[in-house]
Amino acid sequence: MHKSREPLLEMQGIVKSFPGVKALSNVDFTLCKGEIHALMGENGAGKSTLIKVLTGVHELDGGKIVFNDKNIRPKSPQEAQKLGVSTVYQEVNLCPNLTVSENIFIGRLPKKKRGIDWNLINEKSKEILRRVNLDIDPTQMLSSFSVAIQQMIAIARAVDISAGILILDEPTASLDENEVKQLFKIMRKLKEDGMGIIFVTHFLDQVYEITDRITILRNGNLVGEFMTKELSRIDLVTKMVGREINEKEHNLENRKKRRSSEKIDTMVKAVGLGKKGTLEPFDIEMKKGEVLGLAGLLGSGRTETARLIFGIDRADNGVVNIDGKDIQLMYPKKAIEEGLGYCPEDRKKEGIVGELTIRENIILALQAKRGSFRYISKREQVEIADKYIKMLQIATPSMEQQIRNLSGGNQQKVILARWLATNPKLLILDEPTRGIDVGTRTEIQKLIRTLANEGMTVLLISSELEELVACCDRIVVLRDRTPIGQLQGDEITESVIMKTIADGGKVNAS
Ligand SMILES: Nc1ncnc2c1ncn2[C@@H]1O[C@H](COP(=O)(O)OP(=O)(O)OP(=O)(O)O)[C@@H](O)[C@H]1O
Ligand SMILES: [Mg+2]
């Protein structure tokens, strides 16, 4: 054990159940001063639940929490904050229609004799934001900033509130490489100041870069606690998943299967599609049964391309041709009817309907495709939901569970199921494995290949080069909102993709 081990927080024998689910059984967790501690496990393992009992979102069924040598049992996040525990959750949970300052000081506004001192608050907010290197106007609405900036604002707020423990539950899912670097810098500084940081992520590279210690959960049970530098990557994965998985082997297998697209029929073609201020007019062609990747940095126009094809954003000009048929005016309902599916990146905003059950969420797009007059019978709904729950290994006691009660990664799987259920001609997947654990990630990548081999066309947007290499037959690289190169066959390697993103390449993206 570490010499300077000075426990800040000890959770002992923690038990928490939900109807039909034992989310935590007898879990121990220790956090020391000045350490960054990774909490790892598959989707549904209990990571967020452990955090939520610590922060008073859920009440515990058993066990005790000792913080700074005192027994605590926070009844609400506010109470936890007062004790010095603050949290940034998986999805940004600030108020979009308040200003940045209001968000930073919500629930703890300093008061003057008469009313609230806004000048002071705005000044203080600027200072707090500067600590995370954000130089933005705090009087702006939160919603006017990108998800990444909103996430950094949430982190700035949490850092300002917290005295002892900072919890980051998948904060990096929506950050790009530079923003992650920025965040790590801040985390290192807080660590030096003696803060204890709990860090949840599915990015293994990040775990090895920033954390000192790892606690692993599986199915609500504690697997163990390890020093990061003493646990190999393969051991970590094996302990999380409970079996061995070999990512490399699977990637090689796919590489052999990659097909040349020359002789295959075109399935979807966008010609001169563009929108002023968003995307230069571009042509893009997707073959039947092909996985076409879109690569590029955050902001290069990948998601915008998908949104224009699906008609979420209306194109100024150009046309989408599906299976030989020109669609002049594309909008989502039309897109679904014509056989497109779109699994968005921001699942909370565009994906899940929290109050509906898993079954209802899965059936949603299929019902839209068939039209409201052709109601899908309960029996068929159950059949379909059952099929995808099994296929994607969605962890839930029942398909009648409200989707908001699922773990983050399992919600993501439900959205994927929704689009698979429509059996689309073209399936657009925007970062399909964000927030998905390593084991399931490989399964989803295999599924993408299988679907393509069965004739589905897939447009895959991913920031993971590994994922693009594992799945794609062809890749279009975007930069500054326009295609700058195309890769196929043996050119599809991580280093060539990276080089093309950086230097550009042959301009031939049709
Ligand atoms: N409010 C709730 N009601 C019912 N069940 C819940 C609730 N919250 C969590 N669960 C269940 O508890 C289990 C653990 O979920 P938790 O959110 O802690 O997983 P996680 O490890 O954070 O996973 P992920 O990596 O997907 O975020 C899951 O089976 C989940 O469905
Ligand atoms: Mg979680």
CA of 45 to the centre of ligand 2 (A): 8
Domain that holds residue 263: 245-339+463-510
Grouping H, G, I as helix, E, B as strand and the rest as coil, residue 110 is coil
**Does residue 43 sit in the same domain as residue 127?**
yes
Residue 439 lies inside a defined structural domain of this protein: no
180 and 124 housed in the same domain: yes
DSSP string, 309-340: HHTSSPPSEEEEEETTEEESS--HHHHHHTTE
Number of domains in the chain: 3
From 399, 423, 447, the end of a domain falls on 423
**Which ligand gives the minimal distance to the CA of 405?**
1
Q: Which two tokens stand for residue 138?
A: 């705090």
Maximum pairwise Cα distance, the chain: 77
Ligand nearest to the CA of 57: 1
- pLDDT at position 372: 75
323 and 227 fall within a common domain: no
Q: With CA atoms as reference, report the closest residue to 116 among 127, 103, 105.
A: 105
Q: What is the pLDDT of residue 91?
A: 66
HSE toward the beta carbon, residue 330, CA cutoff 13 A: 30
Whether ligand 1 lies within 6 angstroms of the CB of 403 is answered as no
Q: What is the model's pLDDT at position 507?
A: 44
**Is the beta carbon of 410 within 6 A of some atom in ligand 1?**
yes
> In the chain, what is the straight-line distance between the N-terminal and C-terminal CA atoms, in Å?
58
According to the model, what pLDDT value does residue 505 have? 52
Atom of ligand 1 nearest to the CA of 410: 26
Query: Helix axis angle, 147-161 relative to 118-131, nearest 10°?
Result: 100
283 closest CA partner among 323, 321, 335 = 321
Residue 24, ligand 1, Cβ within 6 A = no
Q: For position 1, what pLDDT does the model report? A: 42
For residue 411 and ligand 1, the question of a CB distance below 6 A is answered with no
pLDDT at residue 336, as a whole number: 92
* 8 A C-beta contact, residue 49 and residue 30: no
Same domain, 232 and 378: no
Residues with Cβ within 8 Å of 200's Cβ and at least 6 positions away in sequence, in order, are 38, 39, 40, 47, 48, 51, 90, 168, 169, 170
How does pLDDT run along the chain (510 residues), one tens digit per residue? 444 578 999 999 999 999 989 999 999 999 999 999 999 999 999 999 999 999 999 999 999 999 999 999 999 988 888 888 888 876 667 888 899 999 998 877 776 667 778 888 899 999 999 887 788 999 999 988 877 788 888 888 888 887 689 999 988 777 778 888 888 988 898 899 889 999 999 999 999 999 999 999 999 999 999 999 999 998 999 999 887 766 565 555 655 566 665 667 888 988 888 888 888 888 999 999 999 999 988 778 898 999 999 999 988 889 999 998 998 888 998 999 999 999 987 766 677 888 899 999 999 999 988 887 789 999 999 999 999 999 999 999 999 999 989 988 899 899 999 999 999 999 999 999 988 898 888 889 999 999 999 999 999 999 889 999 999 999 999 988 888 899 998 899 999 998 898 876 544 444
Among the candidates 205, 224, 244, a domain finishes at 244
Q: CATH number of the domain at 266, please.
A: 3.40.50.300
Same domain, 48 and 153: yes
Q: Find out whether 267 and 288 touch, Cβ atoms under 8 Å.
A: yes
Place of tokens 């005790």: 64
Is 200 near ligand 1, meaning CB less than 6 Å away?
no
Q: Does a structural domain hold residue 270?
A: yes
Given this model, what pLDDT does residue 510 score? Answer: 42
What is the tens place of the pLDDT at every residue in 481-503?
A: 888 899 998 899 999 998 898 87
Would the CB of 43 count as within 6 Å of ligand 1? Answer: yes
- If asked whether residues 167 and 295 sit together in one domain, one would say no
Which ligand is the nearest neighbour of the Cα of 50?
A: 1
Distance CA 306, CA 147 (A): 18
If you measure from the C-alpha of residue 464 to the centroid of ligand 1, how many angstroms do you get, rounded to a whole number? 25
**Is-contact 59 53, C-beta < 8 A?**
yes
Q: Which atom of ligand 1 is nearest to the CA of 19?
A: 4
pLDDT at 310: 93
- Shared domain check, 127 and 188: yes
> Is there a single domain that holds both residue 66 and residue 95?
yes
Q: Could you read off the pLDDT of 140-168 as tens digits, one per residue? A: 999 888 777 888 888 888 888 876 899 99
Dig out the tokens for 171 from the structure. 């904060």
Site to probe by mutation for ligand 1, drawn from 54, 406, 413, 416 as the one with most ligand atoms within 8 Å of Cβ, is: 406
pLDDT at 259: 63
38 with 130, same domain: the answer is: yes
